[in-house]
Amino acid sequence: DVVMTQSPLSLAVTLGQPASISCMSSQSLVYSDGITYLNWFHQRPGQSPRLLIYKVSNRDSGVPDRFSGSGSGTDFTLKISRVEAEDVGIYYCMQATHSWTFGQGTKVEVK
């Protein structure tokens, strides 16, 4: 089974400052079709998760451009260029190349 490991597990950021979350997989996430099925989600307290980034670097509809995804193979990163108050919550990476597996989640708070 593919294991997804996120770091850090908790992050306190000053408003307006950047933030970065790492996600590493135990094996390559490149599928036989050449596509890497690595996605990022954001979950605010008491809400359902929301898709932010799909296939490594594609922002979902309505996602602000301060969010960006990058990476390849087994190493991936979600970056927030300037954290806003509404960005608090938990961020999850998820792979859909070998069945489906989520990372443990990274809790983002504002200092």
Partner 1 sequence: EVQLVESGGGLVKPGGSLRLSCAASGFTFSTYSMNWVRQAPGKGLEWVSSISTNSQYKYYADSVKGRLTISRDNARNSLYLQMNSLRAEDTAVYYCVRDSSYFDYWGQGARVTVSS
Q: Which positions touch partner 1 (CB under 8 A)?
A: 1, 37, 39, 41, 43, 48-51, 54-55, 60, 90, 92, 94, 96, 99-105
Residue pair 40/93 in contact by the 8 Å Cβ criterion:
yes
Q: Dump the DSSP string for 78-100.
A: EEESS--GGG-EEEEEEE-SSS-
Residue among 9 and 15 whose Cβ is closer to partner 1? 9
CB atoms near residue 7 (< 10 Å):
14
Residue among 16 and 34 whose Cβ is closer to partner 1? 34
How far apart are CB 60 and partner 1 at their closest, in Å? 7
Strand (E) or helix (H) holding 69 = strand 67-72
Residue among 71 and 103 whose Cβ is closer to partner 1? 103
How far apart are CB 62 and partner 1 at their closest, in Å? 11
Residue pair 9/104 in contact by the 8 Å Cβ criterion:
yes
How far apart are CB 16 and partner 1 at their closest, in Å? 28
